[in-house]
Amino acid sequence: MTNLVIHPELKNLLPPLTKKEYAGLEKDILENGCLSAIVAWNETIVDGHNRYEICQKHGISFNIKQMKFASLDDAMFWAWTHQENRRNLTQYQRGELALKFKPMIAEKAKSNMSLGGSKKGSTNSANLTKPIDTRKALAEIANVAPDTISRIEFLGEHADEETKENLRQGKTTINKEYKRVKEKTAKPKATRTKKASEKSPVAKPETSEPSPSKNVPCIEELVSVQRTTLMNIRQDDPDYLLCNLASHFRKGYIADLILKGMKFLHEKEGEKTTTPIAKEIAKCYLKNKP
């Protein structure tokens, strides 16, 4: 009987089978034999650890399907995407496992960006390398929304083990625990040095439209403030605030903001309101105008 190598990272990629599930698999193999081949990378098992263990225990023969992988990460990624029982995992478990591939996805995104830059100006569009959004790629792997994968990553870094275990078992929700842990880890409010009656005057934009940072405090100027509110923002002119925020947040902030705004407007006002706006955007910015 062939002896294969068990790699701990591949074996422990998914949560272990329950006693009932393992017993059911063992009974099926004893009655029908090992019907599914053990997937191996050279001598290392990639998929089929439980089947291999049962076959070794009872002296049952099995088939081996050899696969080629460039690295252990690639082997793990293949094993994850071909595991049927991943569908039974909670959202948190799927996100937790998907985040194991973040370094690999990020490296691939960096490589693609480099290749795309080196081919800038090429007239053959088929040669261009498609850019990768790491967060969206991880969300697709976990079958969750991009915002959810970000919250799962935050909880993985800041939540206690009891909370994580409750999330894995589906005893609580990601949004609920994210809000709770976020509030718990927030910095304490800065001590007020001014009296309540001493309110700072609200800066008004100059008519010459100077840099937004001259009218709205930059992030560096808000280090002693726990949060900002909309209380002192001019309701008729939010442009300066949005421009200043956009200069400090991640790339793509404005695009996401516009999409979310359109979605909100569509839900509230319907297609009659959003369709003319979408057409106007297309008219102004698309090369092949409709």
**pLDDT tens per residue, range 133-167:** 888 888 888 888 889 999 999 999 999 999 999 99
Contact 150, 125 (CB under 8 A): no
The token pair at 216 is 């709205």
Contact 4, 45 (CB under 8 A): yes
Contacts of 33 (CB under 8 A, 6+ apart): 60, 61
Q: What are phi and psi of 183, to 5 degrees?
A: -65, -40
Per DSSP, what are the bridge partners of residue 45?
A: 40
- What per-residue confidence (pLDDT) applies to 69? 92
Distances (CA, A) of 81 to 14, 55, 135, 184: 11, 24, 17, 35
What DSSP state is assigned to residue 5?
A: B
Model confidence, pTM:
0.48
Reported as a single tens digit per residue, the pLDDT across 226-237 is 444 445 555 555
What whole-number percentage of the chain has pLDDT above 70?
A: 66
Contact 186, 158 (CB under 8 A): no
Q: Strand locations in the chain, DSSP E?
A: 38-41, 44-47, 64-66
pLDDT at 125 over 50: no
Written as one string, the DSSP assignment of 255-267 is HHHHHHHHHHHHH
Q: CA-to-CA distance for 63 and 52, rounded, in angstroms? A: 10
Question: Cα dihedral angle (101, 107, 112, 114), rounded to 10 degrees?
Answer: 170
Task: Indicate the domain borders of the chain.
Answer: 8-88, 91-117+129-185, 212-285
Reported as a single tens digit per residue, the pLDDT across 26-69 is 999 999 999 999 999 999 999 999 999 999 999 999 999 999 99
- What per-residue confidence (pLDDT) applies to 50? 93
Which stretches within the chain are classed as H helix?
8-11, 19-32, 49-58, 72-81, 91-98, 102-118, 134-142, 146-158, 161-168, 174-185, 239-248, 253-269, 271-285
Residue 50: its H or E element? helix 49-58
